[in-house]
């Protein structure tokens, strides 16, 4: 039975990984029909459910109540998913103002399997409206006000993003709207059995996870006693925000007068300095242009485009395109137009757009075209707008905070600082530098942690939300989490904490700074405006930070064993076993909080999106390391740490690979 359950478990992991690539090649409908919704895939989950339940009883795991409830929680989750799959109904309800529509269309695994089900009550749309952020045209929420005629009585309700209306087991979610804003599309979910059972499984998972971490006789607490990391673990447990000017003669002092002027840009009220900073960075790929400040460039291009069109502002960055245009690495605006004032890139783009495969030249043309469009948007006065008179300006303190945040390159300074110190600690290990200079190591870790904390706090204050809405922000949070973990571990394991903390946080900040991630502060789209998002992202990124630690600790442990330092290797092995618990449990809870958020937002707690699938694969693979009785090879420290090193590739695939290779609903994190 053990081998059967293990084989099915590994087969499911393999099938899900392959399915994400099949989806990339053949589309979501195909993979939903042929894999996720197929009889054999469902049968594998049923076989795992039955075999796993029988194996739990056979092993008498109920005698270890915390571990037993933890495994039972997955049985409940799978049972709930089965109820949803076999008995749940999902569909769309289209309403127009003052029109009644008692039916909705239920969509299953394919477009051919669609049919209508009558609602047991009537629904009318009274009014639909889009709410905007003050002073902008950026949507803040979509709201449908409906009247429900239920058993002779009228019930008025408001349905918005992340705000469900529920009646007699039917749940209504705001999904879309008609172009004239007189009609609304609502997702309808009828799942009276699946959702309660699944949520019960989620709750049991969270409680049993805490029990596993806190139980005095549990394996985690026993490891904790051996490493004497009580304070560090407690801290981890508690983790759960114009006058006319000559463009060429304007001085920095003159331009600085406009820094704090409030305008509407990118869906926010911001100081003009933010617009100027983004404008220069997007056009040139650098933080500055020659001797000019950002405001000098912006004001010059705005008021005197006829002069600045001869400035080599626009980065090309592709040798083939540079040759076609007859320019160097940077081009002028006039270089993009021929003698008849025709736009050169239009001809190239129309010619090269044939074919599905995007070439490096096509990609470069698209990027340069966006930079040219940015210049034209400024010239046409559509890049930003003056603050409307009927909109209250932001408090001066918030503007000063954003100016300070724009001025100090936190990420650049900190990744250089962390990578330099990480290399020093790593090289100095031969002289036991970290052990001999514990005080200095702690001081530098504190400097890095406080600096990153200030950066995140400023960003949260400026944005008016927790900074976890895109790829740049999640990498920033991951760097913060890594530094926190390093501080927790520095006393007992100074070398590991120092090398891990500095190197991993430095690389996270380096990726955020130079890997094409967008550092702009933008409002969250309505569907992301939920407190569950912050909790979901926080737990996932903490888990990734801990799994990164397991990878680095694995490398260091292998080095110690290779050098014959058995005792030090055993200490680090114990540390890896200890950190595996919060890393895997944070990941599991984070995944299922994301599922709850998805169910609240659009009525589906699991959609087999590639990132969801790879997160589940990562969770399932790391879960194997807990079962040493079934997989005796993990009792050998070298095998265990090799597993941690190679398993971290799944984390990289989940976070980066899905965004850049597979796409999907979660690829907005790439922005």
Residue 171 sits at φ, ψ, to 5 deg, of -115, 130
How far out from the chain centre does Cα 593 lie? 14
pLDDT band at 130 (very low <50, low <70, confident <90, very high): confident
> Which pLDDT score, from 0 to 100, does residue 236 have?
40
Chain segment 269-322, per-residue pLDDT in tens: 889 888 888 888 888 888 788 888 888 888 888 877 778 888 898 898 888 888
Distance CA 138, CA 100 (A): 30
- Interval 104-128 mean pLDDT: 66
Q: pTM value?
A: 0.67
> Which pLDDT score, from 0 to 100, does residue 110 have?
42
Residue 430, token pair as written in the block: 């031969």
Distance CA 353, CA 431 (A): 59
Is residue 42 helix, strand or coil? helix
Write the CA distances from 107 to 110, 335, 461, 524, integer angstroms.
7, 52, 42, 29
Total count of residues recorded for the chain: 671
> Which pLDDT score, from 0 to 100, does residue 530 have?
67
First vs last C-alpha separation in the chain: 46
Distance CA 19, CA 28 (A): 10
Chain segment 135-164, per-residue pLDDT in tens: 666 677 888 998 888 777 888 888 887 788
- Interval 481-498 mean pLDDT: 79
Residue 126, token pair as written in the block: 């009274």
Is residue 151 helix, strand or coil? coil
Using the CB atoms, write b or e for 433-455: b if 16+ within 10 Å. bbeebeeebbebbeebbebbeeb
pLDDT band at 449 (very low <50, low <70, confident <90, very high): very high
Helices (H) and strands (E) in the chain, counts: 24, 14
Cβ atoms of 203 and 564 closer than 8 Å:
no
Least confident of 147-161, 227-241, 413-427, 436-450: 227-241
> Which pLDDT score, from 0 to 100, does residue 636 have?
87
Q: What is the DSSP string of 302-340?
A: HH-HHHHTTS--EE---HHHHHHHT--SEE-GGGGB-TT
Average pLDDT of the chain is 79
- Interval 460-477 mean pLDDT: 80
How far out from the chain centre does Cα 155 lie? 38
């Amino acid at each position: 039975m053990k081998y059967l359950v293990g084989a099915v478990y590994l087969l499911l992991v393999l099938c899900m990984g392959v399915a994400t690539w099949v989806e990339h090649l053949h589309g979501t409908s195909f993979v939903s029909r042929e894999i996720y919704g197929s009889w054999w895939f469902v049968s594998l989950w049923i076989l795992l459910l039955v075999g796993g339940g029988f194996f739990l009883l056979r092993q008498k795991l109920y005698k270890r109540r915390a571990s037993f409830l933890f495994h039972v929680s997955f049985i409940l989750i799978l049972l709930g998913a089965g109820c949803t799959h076999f008995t749940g109904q999902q569909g769309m309800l289209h309403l127009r103002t003052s029109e009644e529509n008692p039916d909705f269309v239920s969509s299953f695994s394919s477009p051919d399997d669609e049919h209508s089900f009558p609602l047991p009550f009537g629904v009318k749309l009274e009014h639909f409206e889009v709410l905007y952020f003050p002073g902008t045209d950026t949507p803040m929420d979509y709201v449908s006000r409906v009247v429900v005629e239920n058993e002779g009585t009228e019930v008025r309700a408001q349905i918005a993003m992340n705000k469900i209306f529920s009646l007699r087991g039917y749940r209504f979610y705001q999904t879309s709207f008609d172009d004239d804003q007189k009609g609304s599309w609502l997702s309808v979910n009828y799942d009276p059995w699946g959702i309660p059972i699944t949520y019960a499984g989620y709750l049991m998972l969270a409680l049993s996870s805490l029990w596993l971490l806190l139980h005095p006789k549990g394996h985690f607490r026993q490891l904790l006693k051996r490493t004497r990391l009580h304070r560090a673990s407690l801290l981890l447990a508690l983790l759960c925000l114009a006058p006319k000017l000559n463009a060429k003669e304007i001085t920095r002092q003159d331009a600085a007068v406009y820094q704090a002027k409030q305008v509407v840009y990118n869906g926010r009220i911001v100081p003009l300095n933010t617009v100027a900073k983004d404008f220069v960075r997007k056009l040139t790929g650098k933080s500055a242009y020659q001797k000019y400040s950002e405001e000098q460039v912006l004001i010059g291009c705005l008021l005197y485009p006829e002069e600045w069109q001869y400035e080599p502002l626009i980065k090309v960055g592709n040798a083939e395109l540079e040759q076609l245009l007859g320019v160097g690495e940077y081009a002028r605006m006039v270089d993009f137009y021929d003698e008849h004032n025709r736009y050169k890139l239009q001809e190239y783009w129309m010619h090269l757009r044939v074919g599905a495969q995007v070439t490096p030249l096509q990609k470069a043309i698209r990027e340069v075209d966006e930079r040219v469009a940015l210049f034209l948007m400024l010239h046409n006065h559509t890049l930003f707008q003056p603050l409307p008179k009927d909109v209250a300006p932001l408090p001066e303190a918030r503007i000063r905070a954003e100016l300070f945040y724009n001025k100090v390159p936190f990420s650049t300074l900190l990744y250089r600082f962390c990578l330099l110190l990480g290399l020093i600690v790593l090289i100095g290990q031969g002289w036991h530098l970290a052990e001999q200079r514990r005080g200095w190591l702690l001081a530098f870790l504190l400097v890095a942690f406080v600096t990153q904390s200030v950066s995140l706090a400023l960003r949260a204050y400026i944005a008016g939300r927790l900074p976890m809405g895109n790829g740049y922000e999640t990498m920033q949070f991951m760097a913060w989490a890594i530094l926190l973990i390093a501080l927790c571990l520095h006393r007992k394991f100074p070398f590991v904490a120092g090398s891990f903390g500095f190197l991993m946080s430095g690389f996270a900040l380096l990726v955020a700074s130079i890997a094409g991630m967008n550092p702009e502060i933008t409002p969250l789209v309505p569907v992301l405006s939920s407190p569950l998002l912050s909790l979901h992202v926080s737990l996932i990124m903490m888990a990734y930070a801990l799994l990164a630690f397991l990878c680095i600790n694995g490398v260091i442990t292998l080095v110690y064993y290779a050098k014959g330092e058995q005792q030090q290797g055993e200490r680090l092995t114990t540390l890896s076993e200890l950190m595996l618990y919060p890393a895997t449990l944070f990941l599991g809870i984070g995944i299922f909080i994301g599922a709850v958020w998805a169910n609240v937002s659009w009525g589906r707690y699991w959609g087999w999106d590639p990132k969801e699938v790879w997160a589940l694969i990562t969770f399932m693979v790391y879960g194997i390391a807990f079962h040493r009785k079934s997989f005796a090879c993990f009792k050998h420290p070298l095998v265990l740490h090799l597993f941690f090193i190679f398993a971290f590739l799944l984390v990289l695939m989940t976070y980066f690979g899905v965004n850049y290779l597979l796409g999907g609903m979660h690829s907005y994190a790439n922005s």
